[in-house]
Structure 1
Amino acid sequence: MGWKSKLSLLLLVGLICFLIIPAGNTIGNGKRIVRIAHSQSEKHPEHIGLLAFKKHVEEKLGDKFEVQIFPNELLGGQKKAIELTQTGAIDFIVVGCPNVETIASVYEVFSMPYLFASQKAYFDTMRDEEYMKKIYTSTDEAGFRVMTWYNAGIRSFYAKEKIEKPEDMQGMKLRVQQSPASIAMVNAFGAAATPMAFGEVYTAIQQGVIDGAENNELAITNNKHGEVAKYYSYTNHQMIPDVLMANLRFLQSLSPEEQEVFAEAARLSTDVELEAWDKEVENAKKIAQEEMGVTFVNVDMTPFRAQVLELHKEMLAKNPNIRDIYEHIQTINARDTGAKE
């Protein structure tokens, strides 16, 4: 049985289970089912982190809860899964920040190109738990609460043709996430930004609907995009975290002790995901080069950065909700590099 057939079977089984046992209900042993949905494969660091989440919850509260993880968009794409999480049909979802922008506009800041001066500044920002609590609770009014973040790597462009400078992108059609900032960024490079679901990217490149996309190295191997796009150019234009978002009613239904166990599980899942990420990136590059024939291209980021920095001013003017966190990040940038970006 091929991987597509196996995926279809998993999807069918997942949907049957989903329909038979509604979220919030108990199974025969009296345990409450806790559903977590995400769009990555079982090999992805986020899935590995969620397995640690599941293990911790069930070790501490195994007599009350059973955690079920649904990878590969088995319960729908991110937009659909967000809707299901809002209604309580799903309890937790891992989602990219661009998909949270419509819920809380402060998350738009993470789509800002070249926001962080370095990966260290990015990590220092996300590990500032006291500050990030203000961001995480900004979705409460919509019925969500962000529990933690996951490293989704540094985003760069990959395409059928080599990209070494912004001029190479002229006329290209490139997939972006459904984010105004990401769309404006790609258009500023002279390409045509094409928002679409992540699961559609492979076929779209293969059929010539788009020329490429932008993401981290794992998309090349885990999602097999390296089969249809042979050049990965290190523009390093965005560092956008994914977040683990919970249904707020579910969290509020827990006792204080149970809430702390789930919070501990979330923090642990991030630690595990971060450790797995670096290993997976190196492995992905090796597989992409040796087995898929992908060429990794180091580029001068200066002209790319210069072409989109004006977007910072435009975004700050249009969205006052990002100003505080933007200034907070600039302080971290200055502290970590000795000079503001």
Structure 2
Amino acid sequence: MKKVLALLVIVSVLFTGLVACSNEGTKEKTVTLKLAHNLNEQHSVHLALSEFAKSVEDKTNGEVKVQIFPNGQLGGESEVLEQLKVGAVAMTKVSAAALTTYDEGYNAFTLPYVFVDEDHYFKSMDSDAVKTLYNDTKEKGFIGLTFYNSGARSFYTVDKPILKPEDLKGVKIRVMGFQSQTDMVKALGGTPVGLPYGEVYTSLQSGVINGAESNETALTNGKHGEVAKHFSYDEHTRIPDILVLSTKVWDDLTKEQQTAVKEAASESTTSHRTLWSEAIEEAKKDAEENLGVTFHEVDKAPFREAVAPMLEKYSNDMPKVKNLLDAFKGLE
């Protein structure tokens, strides 16, 4: 009896080992991908990422699961990118601006008036030029999968609208911490002031700044519309959010799993387009009716003309930026 039991144990161990080897060889095992971002659970991007997670699980028959960590639980954009490079985090959503330190081509998305309008923006983001850029960071630890619309950025101010570049003279505008925004505001005649987003509200109140620039949701989610009563639709930039995936994690997926992840990512971008439009409409209505913000239409031609030398300089200094801008121009 002891010999029979021993034989059964050996057979069981061998069988388990063979199954494990088979799973390892074909990579057919359950994989959980950690996806971290700094947005809350009500944000349209988080909702799109939740759909992405469900789609990935469905398309892989449960082989690949995506676990989402919102609200900056695993750190800020830069911190998570570093974790992602070593595979500690599988995926993250970051602003294209955060990727400029990894590949100069991403600077193209931070420049003013590279997109004629929203339709041109979506055509450009779906172009082969952008898909090539996504893979250019593979050796640096991650690749791009897709993008999410974060809207057109415009100026909003406390006392007066910005209807032409001359209106920015002497006006202190909060900018994010990258050079192209500083250069843009200077080119338009304003005074750029670098500040963390969390300090914008009190800085508007105290007069440290006279305005800022973002999309309509800053007025409501950030409550900036309680102080800044003029939103001017100059729509100078459209900086996308990029969904990126660790190279280490990507290479460990089967071809079928990779295809499923890519398909789910693309589908989430499509669904997010509707979610974002609804969020913008809601923010504008809320700002108008409850905060007393006035929205102003703007002739963009003088703004485009004012920043043209800046775009030329960036194109001359950065060949990859020039290639992307040329590709975008061909889609107008």
The TM-score bracket by the shorter chain reads: 0.7 to 0.9
TM-score by length of 1: 0.82
* Structure 1 residue matching 2:182: 3-state secondary structure: helix
Q: Note closer, same or farther for the CA distance 1:62–1:231 as it changes in structure 2 (3 Å cut).
A: farther
In the alignment, the residues of structure 2 paired with residue 97 and residue 201 of structure 1 have an alpha-carbon distance, to the nearest angstrom, of 21
Aligned to 1:141: 139
CA deviation digits over 1:284-307, x for unaligned, max 9? 110111112211122222222221
Give the aligned partner of residue 72 of structure 2. Answer: 73
d(CA) in 1 for partners of 2:226, 2:40: 17
TM-score, scaled relative to structure 2 = 0.84
Listed as ranges, the gaps of 5+ residues in structure 1 are 1-29, 334-341
Separation in structure 1 between the aligned mates of residue 226 and residue 89 of structure 2, nearest angstrom? 33
1:205-244 aligned within 5 A: 205-244=204-243
**Aligned partner of residue 115 in structure 1, secondary structure:** coil
1:332 is paired with a residue of what secondary structure? coil
Return the alpha-carbon distance in structure 2 between the equivalents of residues 231 and 152 of structure 1: 20
Q: What amino acid is the match of 2:192? A: A
Matched residues in 1 for 2:207 and 2:39: separation? Answer: 24
1:128-172 per-residue CA deviation (whole Å, 9 max, x = no partner) reads: 2x3322111111121110000111111101122222222222233
Contact 2:110 2:180 in 1 (8 A): yes
* Cα distance, 1:43 vs structure 2: 2.4
Q: Distance in 2 between the 1:172 and 1:85 partners?
A: 39
Q: C-alpha separation between the residues in 1 aligned to 2:98 and 2:63?
A: 31
Return closer, same or farther for 1:286/1:96 CA change in 2, 3 Å cut-off: same
1:25-36 matched pairs, under 5 angstroms: 32-36=31-35
Cα distance in structure 1, aligned partners of 2:187 and 2:44: 32
Q: Is the 8 A contact 2:142 2:244 kept in 1?
A: yes
Cα distance between partner residues in 1 of 2:101 and 2:220:
30
The CA RMSD over aligned residues, in Å, is 2.0
Aligned structure 1 segments of 4 or more residues deviating by more than 6 angstroms: none
CA contact (8 A) 2:48 2:268 kept: yes
1:171 aligns with 2:146: no
CA distance 1:113–1:298, change in 2 (3 Å): same
Task: Return the alpha-carbon distance in structure 2 between the equivalents of residues 206 and 194 of structure 1.
Answer: 15
In the aligned structure 1, how far is the partner of 2:260 from the partner of 2:322? 33
Aligned positions, number: 303
- Shift of the 186–229 alpha-carbon distance from structure 1 to 2, 3 Å rule, reads same
Distance change (3 Å), C-alpha of 1:72 and 1:310? same
Name the CA distance, whole Å, in 2 between partners of 1:261 and 1:173: 47
Distance change in 2, residues 1:317/1:91 (3 Å): same
Cα distance change, pair 66–197 in 1 and its aligned pair in 2 (3 A):
farther
